[in-house]
Amino acid sequence: MEEEKSKDKAKLDLKSITEQQICFDKNWILQSNKQESIRNFICLICKQVANNPMEINCTQHENIDEPLIVGENCLNQFLNQNPNSCPVEPHENCLYSQNRMAKRYINELDVICPRQFQQEQQQLQMSTQQGHEEGETPGIVTCNFKGEVKHVNDHLEHSCCLQMVRCWFKSFGCNHKCLKFAIDDHLTSNMKLHFDLVIKSFDALQQDIRQYKEEINKLNLENETFKMKSKKDEKISHLKQQLDQYQKDNIKLISAQACYILFLFSFHSKI
């Protein structure tokens, strides 16, 4: 039972990382929507806009005159930490179901690129800290995406100019990371650096090959000596066998001779 629970939790963690199942930042959604349009879709637990909205249907809250919406991930986390409870008020046997209408509604809300939103927030923070006037900082790239929530993941993965990418020469040791559109610049202006990195790793590879070759030669030599030794051992044991045989033959011969002498001796004494 315990094990199953922890497995479920691991699944949940993986899901939240890979599919970003956490509820949507209310301020991000409010950039292109009015407060009233999201009022009924606020997650009871995290107070942001519910992602995969679930509706709480317990009979205990029949008198509450507002939709009881929670994001699926928030609800799962809550029930993991508080089994046999309910996010509205503590009681057993919480009842909930997926609210498809709300899900479709939220998925069709218009939003700007979340990376652009994050960038604007950071710029705002910096300009208030430094007392600068608000406005676009020159040289900063902006993503002009505006579309429905359901298209955001596709945008982030395939067409966002604010996507960070790693240098193509990462496996050779270049740790540079930059915006997708700037990678070409980095590659062309750092050709010498990348060339040197490739040569360095090529040299290291050759050094490794040399070492392996030496190792193989040593092993081959050891193998040869071992083979020669075992051949010698074979010869010695063969000689030993031959010697044994000779000794046995010799004993037989001596005893035959002794018999013969005895026979002659007894024959002579009879005469």
Q: Which residues bind Zn ion (CB under 5 A)?
A: 23, 43, 45-46, 58, 71, 74, 86, 88, 94, 113, 115, 143, 145, 160, 162, 167, 169, 174, 176
Looking at the Cβ atoms of 158 and 268, the one nearer to Zn ion is 158
Looking at the Cβ atoms of 80 and 242, the one nearer to Zn ion is 80
Q: Least distance (Å) from Zn ion to the CB of residue 201?
A: 13
Q: Least distance (Å) from Zn ion to the CB of residue 143?
A: 3
Helix (H) or strand (E) holding 28: helix 26-30
Looking at the Cβ atoms of 88 and 182, the one nearer to Zn ion is 88
Rounded CA separation 107/11 (Å): 24
Nearest CA-CA partner of 66 in 104, 24, 102: 102
Looking at the Cβ atoms of 154 and 208, the one nearer to Zn ion is 154
Q: Least distance (Å) from Zn ion to the CB of residue 186?
A: 6
Range list of β-strands (E), 57-134: 69-71, 96-98, 110-112
Rounded CA separation 81/21 (Å): 18
Q: Least distance (Å) from Zn ion to the CB of residue 176?
A: 4
Q: Least distance (Å) from Zn ion to the CB of residue 208?
A: 24
Rounded CA separation 190/152 (Å): 33
Looking at the Cβ atoms of 141 and 243, the one nearer to Zn ion is 141
Rounded CA separation 32/216 (Å): 68
Amino acid 122 reads Q
